[in-house]
Amino acid sequence: MTKKTIVSMPGDGIGKVVLEETIRVLDAAGFKADYVEGDIGWEFWKKEGNPLPERTLKLLEQHKIGLFGAITSKPKDAAAEELGSHLKGKGLVYSSPIVSLRQYFDLDICIRPCKTYMGNPLNFIRRGPGNTIEEPLVDVVIFRQNTEGLYGGVEWTNPPDVVYQGLLSHPKFVQNFGKVPREELSVSTRIFSRRATERILRASFTHARKYGYKSVTVCEKPNVIRETSGMMYKLAQEMQRSEFPEIQLWNTNIDAQMMWLTKNPEDYGVIVAGNMFGDIVSDGFAGLIGGLGFACSANLGEKVAVFEPTHGSAPKYADFPVSIVNPIAMIASACMMLDHIGETVISSRISKAIAEVIMEGRVKTYDMMKMTGAQNVIEKGAASTRQMADAIIEKL
Ligand code: NAI
Ligand code: MG
């Protein structure tokens, strides 16, 4: 096994502790790697006026693989206020470094698996016939387009002349907004490119084929959002027919899907969606398998890949002397990294160890005990972040 170099980016708050524990697990599982730390997050915004310093981009360019914890983001004005005094008034504008990272390296494919761990007390249950209780097994992988759509950043309040004139050329704009004063208009665009849409679709079909999922569901709203959702569904139909005939193509609307996911989540396999709907539907499914403490993800580009839990920096718990948060989302994200670089044996060993700890039910973080997060959860029997990592290492 050749030794890899991984760019570790702890970021802010609980990002730091979950990443540290994850690296302990990776070491214990025998993954040989050097970790170089990449600076990212609030600290660097305050000190340097840039939450994603150039040197971190260089490291990722060089080593290609990143493990990322979480960052803290704040609205524009609050961010400006916290800048170091030497940086204030220089017109610096804060933007989320993880969104910037996805865009800088064109990490356009986001993968978010949501698979039930047997024995997880947080698993979704529903009523079956005759008042029985059923616990459906969820095994869904969401493919979210990660760079375009509503997160593309092309937006205006009081749009400039050229934009306004362009909008006026559309009869629906004239009909629905023609009488609204321009300065009262806010416009956020939803732009899909054919190339990126084909890339996310192909990635989802390829995954379905490789891992034996019977269906790919396009989860959009083509009956209403005709151009963007419509293009995605049409391209999916063409691709399925010409390249993936053995895989069924399903089509659901995002609103209906959010209702169906509590009715028959076990029926879905791979789900593919644009940026916003992918974000929504992946949080929905994550809720069925235990929520933020379990939700892992990969951001893949052509050259660089970054793996991260989907939770944020949970500032409420960041400064606890004994950390209480669940490291499983971060550890499972590291397993996705191992799969990506071909270390599938180590990845399966870690996944199996996580599953065994959950199944056994002896070691549970506060979220798994349905407690409200607080310093005293440890006294009440919840495992700390470290104890959970230790339990996983013991199973290895
Ligand atoms: P959050 O995900 O940080 O926390 C929400 C709540 O979820 C927490 O209060 C906690 O109850 C629970 N939680 C989160 N992670 C957990 C874990 N590993 N184990 C157990 N419970 C966990 O989201 P919130 O509070 O909306 O945002 C906090 C900060 O994080 C904000 O500044 C936000 O901008 C940022 N954020 C960053 C993300 C990223 O780095 N990719 C993603 C989401 C939010
Ligand atoms: Mg989200």
Q: Phi and psi (nearest 5°) for 95?
A: -140, 150
User: Which ligand is nearest the CA of 70, by number?
Assistant: 1
Nearest partner of 42 among 296, 298, 313, 346, judged by Cα: 313
In this model, does residue 2 exceed pLDDT 80?
A: no
Domains of the chain: 1-110+291-396 (3.40.718.10), 124-147+195-288 (3.40.50), 155-188 (no CATH)
Mean pLDDT score, 191-219: 98
Q: DSSP string of 188-229?
A: E--B--HHHHHHHHHHHHHHHHHHT-SEEEEEE-TTTSTTHH
Q: Nearest ligand, CA of residue 146? A: 2
Q: Give the span between the Cα atoms of 276 and 312, in whole angstroms.
A: 17
* pLDDT above 60 for 254: yes
Tokens (6 digits) for 33: 């790697």
Contacts of 278 (CB under 8 A, 6+ apart): 110, 112, 142, 143, 144, 145, 146, 219, 272
Give 309 Cα–ligand 1 centroid separation in angstroms: 10
Question: Dihedral sign, CA of 358, 361, 367, 373?
Answer: negative
Residue whose CB lies within 8 A of the most ligand 1 atoms, among 67, 98, 311, 323, for a mutation test: 311
Give the distance (Å) from ligand 2 centre to CA of residue 292: 10
Closest-approaching ligand to the CA atom of 276: 2
Please state, rounded to an integer, the average pLDDT across all residues of the chain: 97
**Cα–ligand 1 centroid distance for 313 (angstroms):** 5
Which of the ligands is closest to the CA of residue 282? 2
The answer to whether 118 touches 125, Cβ cutoff 8 Å, is: no
Using CA positions, which residue lies closest to atom 42 of ligand 1? 312
To test the pocket of ligand 1, the residue of 76, 96, 310, 313 to mutate (highest count of ligand atoms within 8 Å of its CB) is 313
Distance 2 CA to ligand 1 centre (A): 35
pTM of the model: 0.96
User: Atom 36 (ligand 1): residue with closest C-alpha?
Assistant: 312
- Going from the Cα of 108 to the center of ligand 1, the distance in angstroms, rounded, reads 22
Half-sphere exposure of 304 (CA within 13 A, CB side): 23
Using alpha carbons only, give the angle 137, 139, 143 rounded to the nearest 5 degrees: 155
pLDDT digits (tens, 9 = 90+) for 76-97: 889 999 999 999 989 998 989 9
Ligand 1 binding pocket, CB closer than 6 Å: 70-73, 98, 292-293, 308, 311-316, 325-326, 329, 367, 373
Phi/psi of residue 310, each to 5°? -85, -10
Q: Indicate which atom in ligand 1 lies nearest the CA of residue 74.
A: 32
pLDDT tens track for 289-320: 999 999 999 999 999 999 999 999 999 999 99
Which pLDDT score is estimated for 32? 95
Is the per-residue pLDDT at 256 higher than 90? Answer: yes
Sign of the alpha-carbon torsion through 318, 60, 95, 300: negative
Q: What is the pLDDT of residues 36-82, one digit of tens each?
A: 999 999 999 999 999 999 999 999 999 999 999 999 999 888 999 99
pLDDT of residue 1: 57
